[in-house]
Structure 1
Amino acid sequence: MKDHDYLALDGYSMHVFLTVLEQGSLASAADKLGITKTVIGNCLTKLRSVFHDPLFVRTGGQEIVATARAESLGERMRLVLADMQQLTAEQVFKPKQTALHFTVGTNDFQRDLILPELYRQVASETKEFSLRTLISEYPSLELLRTGKADLLLSPVAPEGTDILYKRLFIDQPRCFFDGNARQAPRTLADFRNARYVGLNLVDGQRVVPLAAPIARELEQQVAIRVPNFSDMASFMRGSDLLAIAPGMLRMGALSGFSSSIPPFNLPSVFMFMLWHKRHQGDPAHQWVRNQLEAAVSGVMERVKLAKA
């Protein structure tokens, strides 16, 4: 047999061969399979060219007998077909039998707020779970496209048909400050005369325009820029600095600070879960996405209780 002959094999021809081998007759095999003897003959001709063996020979009349090679091929073909069947069978995801390793691109806001809950849920339901985070204010879609991340948590809905997404929640901005170091700003003038700590304006990351005129105005009042929300705390503590940040940070990095709702409208903060299209039908990935949504629901319930 030539090295590449095996590429001519197909499951249907092997199934026909095994039926003929079991029935010991072309006519009986045709009846069982519901096909004509011509179709059976074509399948056997293909296999004869692959194995360079007649496979079946006539003993007189319509009776046939398998060659020694055909007899030896029978059990091995059954194993091959069983493997092919398993290969095409629908995947069944069993968390307790699975080791999962996920990388999530996120900013520190979602990392601190959501991912601990996700880890606890998934780790309790799986054989093994490891979670890695890649921190960026606006995680790049290339992390998904290159396979460097399995999921992204981002305030920006993606562009591109290869990236899928689902909105997780909507938050409202609040003004954070150290209540031990300064009074709460109350009027628009208080906000305009204040100095702020804000996030770095890194090229390629800040892709959401500051639509509200007041937001653009206050952006000019930023005195200190830091890479993450959690880094704001050390600068705000003991100072008169303000920070305009997602309100849910009250339960995270800015939990030790006072906060208030600004007396002007600011754009809502959206949060999306993003994944690549190639993972859409993967049972394990689907399960983790469902777990993430459940984790967000748990966090939102705690937010409601904190407001009550």
Structure 2
Amino acid sequence: MRESDYLALDGHSMHIFLTVLEQGSVASAADKLGITRTVVGNSLTKLRSVFQDPLFVRTGGNEIVATARAESLAERMRLVLSEMRELTTEQAFKPQRASLHFTVGTNDLQRDLVLPELYRQVASEAKEFSLRTIISEYPSLELLRTGKADLLLSPIAPEGPDILYKRLFIDQPRCFYDASARPQPRTLADFRQARYIGLNLLEGGRSSPLAAPISRELEQQVAIRVPNFSDMASFMRGSDLLALAPGMLRLGALSSFASIKPPFSLPSIFMFMLWHKRHQGDPAHQWVRAQLELAVVNVMQQGKSDKT
């Protein structure tokens, strides 16, 4: 048999071969399978060419008998067909048997609040779980497209047919300050006279809509810019700086600071879970996405219980 002949094998022909072997007749096999004798004969001809063996020989009349080669092939073909059947059967995902390794692109706020909850949940159920983070205020979609990340957490809904997303939550901005170093700002005049800390300007000069003051007037009062929310605390502590930032920071990096709702309108903060289309139907990925949604619910519930 030539090295490449095995590529001519197919499950249909092997199934016909085994039926002929069991029935002891081409006609009986054709009747059982609901196909013509010609189809059976063509399949056997293909297999004879592949294995270079007649496989069946006539003993008289319509009766046939399998060759020694055919008998030796039967059990192995059954195993191959069984594996092919298993390959095409959707397996129920069982976390306790799964070894999961996920990389998530996210900002430091979600890393500190949501991902620890996600890790606790998944690690408690999965056989093995490792979690890696890539920190960015606006994680690049290329992380998903290139396979460098399995999930992204981003305040921006994606553009592109290959990226899928689901909104995880809506948060409201608050004003954070060190109550031991300055009084609570109450009026619009207090905010106009204050100095602020915000996130770094993005490429092109656009400021982050999550942390920087929304009005042009207050934007000009930003005295310090840092790359992450977690970097704000060290600058705010003992200073008169204000930070207009996501309310969820009360549970994380800015938990030691006082906070209030500002006396003017600020845009709501959205957070989305993003993944690549190729992972849409993956049972393990689906399960982890569901666990992430549950983790967000748990964190948000904690935020409501701590709300002042």
Residue 263 (structure 1) aligned with residue 284 (structure 2):
no
Partner Cα distance (2:287, 2:41) in 1: 47
Residue 89 (structure 1) aligned with residue 89 (structure 2):
yes
Partner Cα distance (2:292, 2:263) in 1: 34
Q: Where does structure 2 lack aligned partners over 5 or more consecutive residues?
A: none
Q: Is the Cα–Cα contact under 8 Å of residues 57 and 67 in structure 2 kept in the other structure? A: yes
**Following TM superposition, by how much is the alpha carbon of 1:203 offset from its aligned partner in structure 2, in angstroms?**
2.1
Tell me the equivalent position of 1:67.
67
Partner Cα distance (1:206, 1:92) in 2: 46
Tell me the equivalent position of 2:278.
278
Partner Cα distance (1:237, 1:190) in 2: 19
Tell me the equivalent position of 1:228.
228
**Following TM superposition, by how much is the alpha carbon of 1:219 offset from its aligned partner in structure 2, in angstroms?**
2.3
Tell me the equivalent position of 1:301.
301
Q: Is the Cα–Cα contact under 8 Å of residues 138 and 206 in structure 1 kept in the other structure? A: no
Tell me the equivalent position of 1:53.
53
Q: Is the Cα–Cα contact under 8 Å of residues 56 and 66 in structure 1 kept in the other structure? A: yes
Residue 80 (structure 1) aligned with residue 111 (structure 2):
no
Task: String of CA shifts for 1:26-47, please: whole Å, max 9, x gaps.
Answer: 1111122122211111111111
Partner Cα distance (1:73, 1:219) in 2: 78
Q: What count of residue pairs does the alignment treat as equivalent?
A: 307
Tell me the equivalent position of 1:189.
189
SS of 2:215 mapped into structure 1: helix
C-alpha distance 7-217 of structure 1, shift in aligned 2 (>3 A): farther
**Following TM superposition, by how much is the alpha carbon of 1:2 offset from its aligned partner in structure 2, in angstroms?**
1.4
Amino acid at match of 1:146: T
**Following TM superposition, by how much is the alpha carbon of 1:265 offset from its aligned partner in structure 2, in angstroms?**
0.7
Q: Is the Cα–Cα contact under 8 Å of residues 215 and 266 in structure 1 kept in the other structure? A: no
**Following TM superposition, by how much is the alpha carbon of 1:220 offset from its aligned partner in structure 2, in angstroms?**
2.4
Task: String of CA shifts for 1:70-92, please: whole Å, max 9, x gaps.
Answer: 11111111111111111111021
C-alpha distance 166-207 of structure 1, shift in aligned 2 (>3 A): farther
TM-score, normalised with respect to structure 2: 0.95
Q: Is the Cα–Cα contact under 8 Å of residues 26 and 40 in structure 2 kept in the other structure? A: yes
SS of 1:114 mapped into structure 2: helix
Amino acid at match of 1:177: Y
**Following TM superposition, by how much is the alpha carbon of 1:218 offset from its aligned partner in structure 2, in angstroms?**
2.1
Q: Is the Cα–Cα contact under 8 Å of residues 199 and 207 in structure 2 kept in the other structure? A: no
Residue 32 (structure 1) aligned with residue 64 (structure 2):
no
Q: Is the Cα–Cα contact under 8 Å of residues 156 and 208 in structure 1 kept in the other structure? A: no
Deviates more, 1:291-300 or 1:182-191: 182-191
Q: Is the Cα–Cα contact under 8 Å of residues 175 and 243 in structure 2 kept in the other structure? A: yes
Tell me the equivalent position of 2:13.
13
| Identical amino acids, percent of aligned pairs | 81
C-alpha distance 216-54 of structure 1, shift in aligned 2 (>3 A): farther
Q: Where does structure 1 lack aligned partners over 5 or more consecutive residues?
A: none
TM-score, normalised with respect to structure 1: 0.95
**Following TM superposition, by how much is the alpha carbon of 1:213 offset from its aligned partner in structure 2, in angstroms?**
9.1
Tell me the equivalent position of 2:123.
123
Tell me the equivalent position of 1:240.
240
